[in-house]
Amino acid sequence: MVNSNPIGTPKDRLEALKESYLSRLESNLNHLELLAGRLLEKAQSDEYLEELHSTLHSISGSAGSFGFNQVGQQARRFEQATAKILNQANAPDEPLPAREWIAQLRASLESDKKQKASASIESSSTSKADGNTCIWLIERDAILAEFTAQQLKSFGFEVHHITDLQELNNPSKPAPDLLLIDHRANQTLSAKPEHLGSWKTLLKDFTCPKYFFGAEDTFDARLQALRNDGKGYFVKPLNMISLTRHISELFQVESSEPGRVMILETNSRLSQTLQTALEQADMLVYSLSEPQQLFESLNEFNPELILLDLWLTEVNGQELTALLSQVERWAHLPIIYIANESNSSLKNQALLMGGGIFLEQPIDTELLARLCKSQVHKLRQLEASRSKDALTGLLKHASIKEAIQSHWNYVQRQPQTFSLVMLDIDHFKQVNDTYGHPVGDLVISAVGTLLRQHFRSTDKLGRYGGEEFTLLLVDCEADDAFKMVDNLREAFEAIKFSSGDTYFSCTLSAGVLDNKQFSDASADALIEHADKALYQAKQSGRNRVCLACA
Ligand SMILES: Nc1nc2c(ncn2[C@@H]2O[C@H](COP(=O)(O)OP(=O)(O)OP(=O)(O)O)[C@@H](O)[C@H]2O)c(=O)[nH]1
């Protein structure tokens, strides 16, 4: 039985959940033993086979989350073997070796108990950023749900556990921003995948994003999730670091700036029609008729997409594509070709030069506007992924420095206060040395997610290097920045990381300033001042935030 309102330290709560899980696992194994005996007497009973399958499925989907990795993997193999037999029309030649399976599961359980296999997180912190993402967790396994919910809460998500699908219509719950669904939670003991389709009907009133998860790492499970409007499918045991990062990135607001489209077209009437259609679709448009001015105009307008007349009088689309591909800055600029006739050889040549989409006249302007938007969206996503650090999803060193420089340039023209923060995990070397590099990576990654949860999407957050982070907080004075970073420091300290059966927490130090304090300083000098304040925080005992002195 799981206490729905657990008390005690995070460690106590995790331990209690692991204890509950272990005793359930042991009774599952006893139940499997019973089924194995019945199957010996009645080898082809579908009823017993389905129960065996379902119990193995439940173990395979949950054991790994509690650190019983070998048990989970083995249960998955046995579950697959049982499913094969269930799907066969004829009785198998050999009886199912269920007794041997159970002996192997018991041996794995003993071995898992001795291993330090899992790394997880827990927090007692309740201080959260405003507007927490509200997640409804639809999971029929109460222990697993509690365990998952506690970890999600550590990152500042608000989590509601749905055990009974009737609760989906409960108006007293705060509306979800995201549904996280065990894809089999709409079934009872049945393991038949054809029942999965009904999620679409069950969730028809929910417009928020949906993620599915399940024990199966199969094409079918992913396809079903997609067909049920899932934005993604995660395999159990859930990797909480990757899941929380996925979720927090999902809610990062994409730039709402209008897409910038350049039109290079000699036919002025056509050019005007296209420009009007795109402007009506809220895009910024720059029209050009002279190819000779191409590079000058590109540098001036900085487009995210170019509409190119495939057959200009002096130079053709193929040559222009080649020219663009030779200049690094424009080599990956998306191109939409406007062809005034069906000239397949010209099209093929431009395609071979790396060209993009072809539209023939008469142009469907509505389709064109949609295509332009999707091309700009793709380019922005690509640029974002290039500038992001793989472990944390934050900006890489060069990108955060660039963001600081460009914001600094901006405030020279439009005076505005911003704060800079340098932040570093304390004694991080010890974490690596004691628990290993992968656990160290988990801690770094957790800082990334925590930062995204605590700051606005308009702030720039970067991994400066190793275990050091840089934040640019726009429109924010140092005193406010100090308070926010101090809240973050407390939240981070409250997170309990676990490596096997060992629990530990980490702290961080930070240096904070705003540009008003150092009005003559360059962007680089501001970073240096913030770094000095960080050094001061380290020198004066760590686990603290220091304001830079002007
Ligand atoms: N796991 C992991 N470790 C990293 C990564 N990048 C840097 N490190 C390690 O981070 C540690 C940083 O150690 P130090 O610079 O001595 O600092 P510290 O131990 O945090 O001590 P203080 O900053 O003085 O509190 C080094 O051991 C690096 O190897 C990474 O991506 N993953």
- Tokens representing residue 200 in the block: 């679409």
Each domain of the chain, given as residue ranges in start order, spans: 10-114, 119-250, 260-384, 397-547
The CATH number of 397-547 is: 3.30.70.270
Active-site annotation, residues: 467
Q: For residue 120, which phi and psi values (nearest 5 degrees)? A: -140, -175
The average pLDDT across 413-429 equals 96
What is the CA(444)–ligand 1 centre distance, in A?
Answer: 10
Kindly give, in sequence order, each residue whose CB lies less than 8 Å from that of residue 515, ignoring residues fewer than 6 positions away. Answer: 408, 411, 417, 418, 419, 420, 521, 526
* Domains 10-114 and 397-547 alike in fold: no
What pLDDT sits at residue 40? Answer: 76
Phi, psi of 545 (to 5 degrees): -115, 135
| Residue pLDDT, tens place only, 516-541 | 999 999 999 999 999 999 999 999 99
- Mean of pLDDT over the chain: 85
Q: Which atom of ligand 1 is nearest to the CA of 440?
A: 1
pTM equals 0.68
494 Cα distance to chain centroid: 23
Q: Is the CATH code 3.40.50.2300 the one for domain 119-250?
A: yes
When pLDDT is averaged across residues 319-343 and rounded to a whole number, the result is: 84
CA-to-CA distance for 423 and 535, rounded, in angstroms? 10
Q: Which two tokens stand for residue 136?
A: 């409804």
**CA nearest 447: which of 248, 198, 313, 197?**
248
The Cα 260–Cα 282 span in angstroms is 10
What is the 3-state composition of the chain as percent helix, strand, coil, each rounded to the nearest 5?
Answer: 50, 20, 30
Q: Which pLDDT band, with edges at 50, 70 and 90, does 190 fall under?
A: very low
Instruction: Please list, residue by residue across 146-161, b when 16 or more beta carbons sit within 10 angstroms of its beta carbon and e when fewer do.
Output: bbbbbbbbbbbbbbeb
Q: How confident is the model at residue 219 (pLDDT cuts 50, 70, 90)?
A: very high
pLDDT of residue 181: 94
Q: CATH topology for 260-384?
A: Rossmann fold (3.40.50)
Rounded CA separation 5/72 (Å): 28
Residue 426 Cα to ligand 1 middle (Å): 9
For the Cβ of 36 lying below 6 angstroms from any atom of ligand 1, the answer is no
- The residue whose C-alpha atom lies closest to atom 26 belonging to ligand 1 is 429
pLDDT number for residue 272: 95
The residue among 128, 125, 144 whose CA lies nearest residue 68 is: 144
**pLDDT 10s digits, 350-369:** 666 666 788 888 889 999 99
- 408 CB-side CA count, 13 A: 20
> Among candidates 331, 545, 300, which has minimal Cα distance to 420?
545
Percent of the chain with pLDDT over 90: 43
Query: Does 42 sit in the ligand 1 pocket, CB within 6 Å?
Result: no
Bridge partners for 20 per DSSP: none
Q: Quick: pLDDT tens for 376-390.
A: 998 988 888 888 898
Q: Which residue has the higher pLDDT, 396 or 494?
A: 396
pLDDT of res. 253: 57
CATH code given to domain 10-114: 1.20.120
pLDDT tens digits for range 220-253: 999 999 999 999 999 988 877 778 878 877 876 5
**CA end-to-end distance (rounded Å), the chain:** 58
Residue nearest to atom 18 of ligand 1 (CA): 427
CA 244 to ligand 1 centroid distance, Å? 23
- pLDDT greater than 90 at residue 344: no
